[in-house]
Chains A and B, each alone.
Chain A
Amino acid sequence: MSKDIKIKKGLDIKLIGEADKTVEQAIISNFCTIRPEDFHSVIPKLIAKEGTRVKAGDVLFHNKDVEAMKFVSPVSGEVVEVQRGPRRRIDAIKIQADKTQDHKDFGKFNMSSDAAATKAHLLASGCWAFIKQRPYDVIANPERSPKAIFISGISTAPLAADLDFVLTGKEEALQAAVSALAKLTEGQVHIGVGSNNSPLANMNDATIHKVSGPHPAGNVGTHINKLDPVNKGETVWTINAQDLVIIGELLLTGKFNAERIVALAGSSVKKPRYFKTTIGSEVATMVYDNGVDKDGNDRIISGNVLSGKQLKPDGSLGFYDNLISVIPEGDDYEFFGWNKPIFNKISTSRALTFSWLNPKKKYALNTNTNGEHRAFVVTGSYEEVFPLDIFPMQILKACKYEDLDEMEALGMYEVAPEDFALTEFICVSKQPHQDIIRKGLDLMLKEIG
């Protein structure tokens, strides 16, 4: 029962600096950093103290609430620093990588094992971290059984890495991961693909859906809403397509291989291209060679420009990210910028903004907010870019005044912050939509669980 997903509402943000389809081996990063904040709402219990030697796949810390859920080191080396923030919260775990990498052997997985064994294997090997759940957009609770699992095989976000390209040749690992995951749900594994050429288009044990339309057509949240929305008391799981490869390799070879193909893109990059690197690598190993000016005024983002995380030049690739975007900072004033006609920025209105004249044009946007934070005033504009069957402004307001009943009634179980990235982008009042939703979800998680 495959159903095509076609959306009309949305917005493709076309930016300059899409990555060329060539893969380069990144310089091997000396340090690898894992930030527990990437695993939202997980409280880490540190296992590998400073000075511990670890192999790739050895446990760094586990989830304080669910001890079985391990988080492992992507590289072999020595834990050189555990950075702590206020109240001794662990901010980052820094590992100095060995010259020759050594992997812990989890053993080749017997693919005919049952659900419980599969689950235990993924939890112990650190691969569970790749599985997220809705509601709440956090790492999946292994005690719940999801009604379905969703995987998006198409990325429509601005400058996104082309999944068809980065997953080519990984079919075997992908299939192993999909088959294993299919055991963990009573329902189906839904995979959304852009075309029949996708490496994911011929997976067994899954239902393939063809996806078309503007961004956020590739967001897994859109697929969930169109195929099988999350109701109260239900859970669905989501996994990034590229992480299936890591899961698949673990099952097939017994090694936690954190290697990943990452796109370096954005208008500040001289030669945008793909790199083969590992999770947690320093971005400096990729962005400067033929990339960004060392003393340029640019912003480096781990992830896409809509929902990624800002990095300092010494920052490292986020756990879930397969894209590094670099765009110019916009920390300058613009004379009469609020009323003169605008040709070099994107807008969904035609308020003396002229991006509607040439929808195919690519833009070099910077990080300026293009205006100040205001109360919600304009109505009806969010709906044009928001394809979910949810009232965006009403749910945002419900989050702001923390009315749990209303949040629940309006569909809070179905959403993740990234679903509100486009409404945030076009917001005339410059409200932080994703932040509002994240805080709302955290509140519900705390109060309802």
Chain B
Amino acid sequence: MGLKNNLHNFREKNKDKKWLPAFSAIHTFLYLPNETTHNGTHIKAADDLKRTMNIVIMAMVPCLIFGMFNAGYQHHLAFGEIERVTSGFFSSTFWTMDNFTVGFWKILPLVVVSYGVGLAIEILFAMKNSHEVEEGYLVTGMLVPLIVPIDIPLWMLAVAVAFGVVIGKEVFGGTGMNILNPALTIRAFLFFAYPTWMSGDKVWVHGADPRVQDLANGATPDAISGETILGSLAQNNSSMIDSAGDIWNAFYGFIPGSVGETSTLLILLGGLFLIFTKVGSWRIMLSSVIGAIVMGLIFNGVADAGWISESSKFYGLMSTDFWMHLLVGGFAFGTVYMATDPVTASQTNKGKWIYGFLIGFISIMIRVFNPAYPEGVMLAILLMNVFAPTIDHYVVQGNVKRRMKRLKVKTA
């Protein structure tokens, strides 16, 4: 086969070139390398890191496509051009080409910038350290566009990606060595550097932000609200989610929010796919849902017992039914795609239970107690990323202690 041989010869000819990792990245993308084992095991199982990462991306693609439709839908809805969906997941007002086109042209640049900037930096570092380009960024690059507001300026995203990849990952030694989830590092950077673009009630719907309006030379921005459900609940306003239809819409994902995190249904399917393929950790996903439910129940209990007055600024979110916390905000997305990052999560099975539980628990706690920015999952995961090595340390110490005890019993 021509292409195969040509690429092979090209590679052999340029074996010692500095830029070879860049070529390799493309070459190994086309062809599984001809590398063979030496000593050690002479055979190897089928999975490699590319395959593993590819599975995660496949699990996210439905969220991405849904996000494109939803971006258009929210835009048209906010401008009063269409009616709210009332007819289930396959509603014809939602799945229109028009919605898709609006979202597609908004989201495609986010994806391009995220991958372009991130991969360029990865390749530079790979060349500098002369190792192969590792696949970690394939997933990060896909996660980033899904967790930012739709109207985020592209330069801002580029700066954040550069920061996240360099400071969040490469300074620690690259893929596999980082402490914080790179995608969340990027989001946290945006959140703290440009808070007005990352929170409030104007950023979640394309065109709702007056700054963008001005640019687009649009009409009366005051008429438009792009508030998220979580945002309104934090204002003690539960009108956005007081009917069964609203709740179903929240589950399907027909609500404002970051690009790809709104559809709990698709995230649930993606999560099941990850668990089925054994790529994502079911321990982390399950325990973090349990953690969120426990915290939600505690808050419900506090609200029901009347320990907090209805005028309290915490009342709205505290009295929200515990299960509703799983549907709104970025909790589901964070749990399935971000908390399960194997590098930054706990690495021991027991540790994963603790780690996941605390993520769920702390997410809801931050959500309730931080009304200025009513989403806790990002900070909860980053916090637990920092604690994951400590959790692992104590789990491993359990094993070490058992060994020591065995020795003592013997010598005693």
Contacts and interface: CB of A to CB of B under 8 A. Distances in A.
Contact of A342 (B33, B46, B352, B402): B46
Interface residues of A, number: 78
Contacts of A329: 36
B176 A375 contact: yes
Interface stretch (B37-45, B142-150, B371-379): B37-45
A119 to B, nearest CB: 24
Interface of A: 13, 15, 158, 229, 231-234, 299, 301, 305-310, 325, 327, 329-339, 342, 345-353, 355, 365-381, 383, 389-391, 393-394, 409-411, 421, 424-430, 432-435
B399 A338 contact: no
Contact of A347 (B45, B176, B400): B45
Contact of A433 (B40, B278, B348): B40
Given A332-B34, A338-B50, A339-B50, A432 B40 contact: yes
A434 B347 CA distance: 21
Contact of B345 (A336, A353, A379, A393): A379
B342 interface: yes
A428 B41 contact: no
B43 A377 contact: no
B28 interface: yes
Interface string B46-67: 1111111011000000000000
Contact of B406 (A229, A233, A331, A425): A229
B105 interface: no
Interface string B329-349: 000000000000011010111
A368 B42 CA distance: 8
B176 A425 contact: no
10 contacts: A310-B39, A333-B8, A333-B31, A333-B34, A345-B45, A349-B277, A372-B28, A383-B349, A425-B44, A432-B40
A382 B42 CA distance: 18
Nearest to A417: B40
Interface string B378-412: 00000000000000100010011011101100100
Given A231-B410, A435-B39, A379 B347 contact: yes
Contacts of A331: 34-36
Contacts of B276: 350
A337 B33 CA distance: 9
A154 B44 CA distance: 23
B47 A371 contact: yes
B22 interface: no
A220 to B, nearest CB: 18
A425 B8 CA distance: 26
Contacts of A370: 32, 44-48
B30 interface: yes
Given A301-B42, A410-B399, A349 B278 contact: yes
Contacts of A375: 134, 173-177
Given A345-B45, A372-B49, 16 more contacts: A233-B407, A325-B42, A338-B50, A347-B45, A348-B47, A351-B279, A367-B36, A368-B36, A374-B132, A378-B49, A379-B342, A391-B348, A394-B392, A426-B45, A426-B47, A432-B40
